[in-house]
Amino acid sequence: MMPDPLLAAAGLVKGYLSPAGYLPVLASLDFEVAPGEMVAIVGASGVGKSTLLHVLGTLDRPEKGTVRVAGAEVFGLAETALREFRNRTIGFVFQFHHLLPEFTAVENVMMPLLIARQPEGEARRAASELLALVGLQDRGEHRPSALSGGEQQRVAVARALVRSPRLLLADEPSGNLDRETGDRLHELIRRLNREKGITVIAVTHNERLAASCDRTLRLEGGRLVSC
């Protein structure tokens, strides 16, 4: 028997008002991802890939349709419950790392745990373990300005994983990196997917990252089609 999907979206509709009128972005879109799967979403610039990722990650709401993550119909949750579910179940990595410049690498990784009111000592230990996992065990006390672009993105990956999410959403994670550094980041994400069983959905223009995924889908005309 096939396992139940970790994420299942059905009938997603989303658009925006523009000077020219209503601009449809998602058109009755359906999408499922199995537990432990790594899926790439590709498509032309401006077609709505980031919008889709934001809806799947509950950062934005669709006009119509449902999203179920780990069995929960997420948009049926009250706002406080939705926020806690998102913080516990979903990790995010964006093109720009969004690290807090005044805090060290380990403090940046600790932040989601501190917000969840975990004791500082426990949060620091968990953050340090994740920095070691992404190869930054010796850079924990450095602030972002003292780290390379690739190191900053690895800190962002560690921060995304610190609450042990089941789903990692990555929006052009290597888009701001050179080819060699980007390839190392792709290898890291793929290794975490394989070794930790984390389900990954990556929006990308990078053909090498897409090729490393289990499946690649293209967003066209508001719907996903197989490549």
pLDDT score, position 145: 94
pLDDT for residue 162 is more than 70: yes
Provide, rounded to the nearest whole percent, the portion of the chain with pLDDT above 90: 67
For the segment 59-83, the average pLDDT, to the nearest whole number, is 93
pLDDT score, position 178: 84
Token pair in block for residue 50:
């980031």
pLDDT score, position 183: 87
Per-residue confidence band for 134, with pLDDT thresholds at 50, 70 and 90: confident
pLDDT score, position 109: 95
pLDDT for residue 176 is more than 90: no
pLDDT for residue 179 is more than 90: no
pLDDT score, position 62: 95
How many angstroms separate the CA atoms of 218 and 154, rounded? Answer: 27
Per-residue confidence band for 1, with pLDDT thresholds at 50, 70 and 90: low
CA angle 156, 121, 131 (to 5 degrees): 30
CA angle 111, 129, 195 (to 5 degrees): 110
Residue written as token pair 């979903």? 90
Across the chain, mean pLDDT equals 91
pLDDT, tens digit, 9 for 90 and up, residues 2-59: 578 999 999 999 998 888 888 889 999 999 999 999 999 999 988 999 999 999 999 9
pLDDT score, position 2: 57
pLDDT score, position 26: 95
Residue written as token pair 């000077």? 19
For the segment 111-120, the average pLDDT, to the nearest whole number, is 92
Say which residues have a Cβ less than 8 Å from residue 58's Cβ, sequence separation at least 6: 67, 69, 74, 75, 82, 85, 86, 90
pLDDT, tens digit, 9 for 90 and up, residues 194-211: 988 999 999 998 888 899
pLDDT score, position 67: 96
Domains of the chain by start residue, with CATH = 7-226 (3.40.50.300)
For residue 191, which of 161, 220, 227, 226 has the smallest C-alpha distance? 161
